[in-house]
Amino acid sequence: AQSVSQHNHHVILSEAASLELGCNYSYGGTVNLFWYVQYPGQHLQLLLKYFSGDPLVKGIKGFEAEFIKSKFSFNLRKPSVQWSDTAEYFCAVNPSGTYKYIFGTGTRLKVLA
Piece in contact with other proteins (CB under 8 A), picked from 11-19, 38-46, 69-77, 79-87 = 38-46
d(CA 26, CA 19): 23
Nearest CB to other proteins, comparing residues 39 and 83 = 39
Largest CA distance in the chain: 43
Residue 101 interacting with other proteins (CB under 8 A): yes
Residue 43 interacting with other proteins (CB under 8 A): yes
| Least CB distance to other proteins at residue 109 (A) | 14
Task: Give the CA dihedral 83, 18, 50, 97, nearest 10 degrees.
Answer: -80
Residue 35 interacting with other proteins (CB under 8 A): no
Residue 54 interacting with other proteins (CB under 8 A): no
| Least CB distance to other proteins at residue 32 (A) | 6
Q: Among 2, 5, 32, 73, which residue sits at the site for other proteins (rule: CB under 8 A)? A: 32
Judge whether 107 and 6 are in contact, CB under 8 Å.
Answer: yes
Binning the chain into helix, strand and coil, the percentages to the nearest 5 are: 10, 50, 40
